[in-house]
Chain A
Amino acid sequence: MQPTSSMNEEFLKKWQMGLQIFRPSIDNTSVHERKKAIKLSADVAMASLRKGTTCWSRALIEKTATEDNFLVRQMLSGIKAETLINKKLPKKTVCHRKIVRRSKKILRRKSKSASEEAAAKAKRLVKRRTQGLRNVVPGGELMSNDVLLLQETLDYIVSLQTQVNVMRSIVDAAEAEIER
């Protein structure tokens, strides 16, 4: 499972269209503002690859729209993806504390063998690590189960790799041209 060349091409096309729309924010501005515009357009291009089918991409569209609603809407319009702005995110799951507490009480009553204790410890460690994933994957806090979280994580990584590959190629080509 790796980024495909067609993914790279599609990302580049969308990103270029986004940069054209963002151009007023890129010309005649500070390095810092230009960087923000470049990154924002790259994130929108990456998220739009998934056409609203994944939770992480919907969450990323929402996040970028929070940063600059006008430009993001313009870019989505330019790349024919206006509908992405309205894709809904799942509601946050409410945890029933009473049930959890009761379950923990029941669990504590049992005495465990050494191997059972080791397995329980490993399981708790995995749980903590999945919580870490929720923090770094867009919309991770909203995913209701660990299987969905890992599926979204896999897809997000492939998309991030696409973004990095294309951006790095542009930087390398530009720097090579300057040195000529």
Chain B
Amino acid sequence: MSNRRSRQSSSAPRISDNQMIDLVSKLRQILPEIGQRRRSDKASASKVLQETCNYIRNLNREVDNLSERLSQLLESVDEDSPEAAVIRSLLM
């Protein structure tokens, strides 16, 4: 029986780890301020990832709310009013 697992280069995990650290750092920059006390790098990475999940959910919720608001705006405006013309010129 042949060995199905390929031998992993000793440098590969280190390169990957460095990439992960760099990417987590970029995530930290893109997020809203994290007002947390700094802990170890790994725990901090975990916190950044958690905040990232929360931030993405918040952005998606905001898109949902904005879609609803736009729908209501189009509903409440009379078809022939100047307001309707403005909204439609913005949107369509």
Contacts and interface: CB of A to CB of B under 8 A. Distances in A.
A174 B29 contact: no
B50 to A, nearest CB: 5
B70 A167 contact: yes
Q: How large is the interface on A (under 10, 10 to 19, 20 to 34, 35 or more residues)?
A: 35 or more
A69 to B, nearest CB: 20
A157 B59 contact: yes
Interface in A111-150: 118-119, 122-123, 125-126, 128-130, 132-133, 135-137, 145-147, 150
Q: How large is the interface on B (under 10, 10 to 19, 20 to 34, 35 or more residues)?
A: 35 or more
Contacts, number: 134
The B contact surface, by secondary structure, is helix
B59 A174 contact: no
A2 to B, nearest CB: 8
A177 B86 contact: yes
The A contact surface, by secondary structure, is helix
B83 A177 contact: yes
Nearest to A26: B74
| A-B residue pairs, 7 tightest by C-beta | A122-B42, A129-B49, A150-B23, A35-B71, A39-B67, A34-B71, A167-B66
